[in-house]
Amino acid sequence: MLDQTQEVLGALLQRPVQIFDLSQPLENGMPCSPSHPGFHMALIRRHGDLMRGAGSGSNEIITFGGHVGTHIDALAHVAAEGQLHGGIDAVANSVGGRHRALGAETIPPMLCRGRLLDIPRAMGLERLPAGYGVTIDDLQAATGESSMEPGDVILVRTGWAQKYGDPEAYVGHREGAPGVTGPAAEWLADRGARVVGTDTIAFDQILPGFGHSQMPAHHILLVKNGIHIIEVLNLEELAEHGARDFWFVMIPLRIVGATGSPVRPLAIVDPSSLEASR
C-alpha cells in the first residue's frame, strides 16, 4: 500500500519520493504505559463459524486506550494546578464522561514540514542510555547548521525504539527511559514547534524508580503552550537513511472528547536529499 502511495505522490509531484512509516504495529502484548489500558484484539467470528452459501466472513473486537501504540496527545490529556490549556477548568471540562473542550476531535490533520533531531547520532551513540535526559545542548547539536522554522513538526530520536520488543524495558518503569527534559521542552516551544514527538512511550525523561510520576515536558508543551505530543514513534528507518527534513503527514481519529488518538504518521522524503546527507 505504501508503495502505491509513493508512486501516486511521485506522479503528482513529478519527481520520485520515498515514504517512511513512522508508526509501531498494534498487537497483543505490545508495550503499554501502566497508566493506560493495553491493546487487546481477538477474532469474534472466524471463517467457518457462520457460512453463507459457499462464503464466510471474519471479524474482530479491539479494545485499547487512546495512548497506546503510536498516538498523539490531545490538549485535554494533562492539567496543571487544575487547569487545562487556555485556563479551562479540568474537572468541569470532564463532567459527563468525555471532555467538552480540547478533545481529540480538535487535533487537526497535518501536512507540513518535519524535522528529525537525531540525538544518538549527534553523540556518536547507537541509542541513549536508560533514564537519560535530553538537554538543550543535545537538541542544538542535533539541529546542526540546518534551520528550524515556526510551524515545523519536530521529532526527537533517542534510539529507544530498539527496545520496543522488550515491553518492560521500553516502558522504563523500573530502569528508566530516555526523554526530553523540561528546559529542552521549553526550547522546542520557544522555536514555534507545531507538534513534537519522540520514539519513547512518555516523551518526558523517565528516571529509574520514579516511573511516570514526573512529567514536566507534558505540562510545558500541552498545558502552557498548547503543543501536541506524539509518542511511540518508530524513527529508526528514517534515521538509518540520514533523513533530516521531510514532509510530515498525519491524520488523527476524530474521537469526540478523548484525550488522545492513535495515528499512523508518514515522512515523505526527496531521495536526492538522502544521497546528499550521506
What is the per-residue pLDDT for 11?
A: 57
Please classify residue 273 by burial: count the beta carbons closer than 10 Å to its beta carbon, then call 0-12 exposed, 13-18 middle and 19+ buried: middle
113: which strand partners?
247
If you average pLDDT over every residue of the chain, what do you get? Answer: 92
* Inter-residue contact 205 to 133 (CB < 8 Å): yes
> Would you state the cell numbers that stand for residue 54, as one nine-digit string?
459457499
> Would you state the cell numbers that stand for residue 110, as one nine-digit string?
497535518
Where do the domains of the chain lie, and which CATH numbers do they carry?
A: 66-277 (3.50.30.50)
* Residue 108 CA from chain centroid, whole number: 15
pTM for the model: 0.92
Which helix (H) or strand (E) element contains residue 167? helix 167-171
Closest to 31 in 3D by CA, of 128, 162, 214:
162
Output the CA angle 122-146-144, nearest 5 degrees. Answer: 25
* Inter-residue contact 191 to 199 (CB < 8 Å): no
Rounded distance, CA 4 to CA 34, Å? Answer: 38
For the chain, the straight-line distance linking the first and the last C-alpha, in angstroms and rounded, comes to 28
Output the CA angle 146-151-157, nearest 5 degrees. Answer: 55
Rg (CA), the chain: 20
User: 228-231 and 71-73 as β-strands: parallel, antiparallel, unpaired?
Assistant: antiparallel
3-class SS of residue 73? strand
Q: Tell me: the pLDDT tens digits for 155-203?
A: 999 999 999 999 999 999 889 999 999 999 999 999 999 999 999 999 9
pLDDT for residue 10 is more than 80: no
Q: 17 Cβ partners below 8 Å, 6+ apart?
A: 6, 9, 10, 268, 269, 270, 271
Residue with cell 490538549: 75
Rounded distance, CA 128 to CA 159, Å? Answer: 6
pLDDT for residue 9 is more than 70: no
Rounded distance, CA 173 to CA 60, Å? Answer: 31
Share of the chain above pLDDT 70, in %: 93
Q: Tell me: the pLDDT tens digits for 73-125?
A: 999 999 999 999 999 999 999 999 999 999 999 999 999 999 999 999 999 99
What is the per-residue pLDDT for 14?
A: 61
The mean per-residue pLDDT over the stretch 25-49 comes to 94
pLDDT for residue 8 is more than 80: no
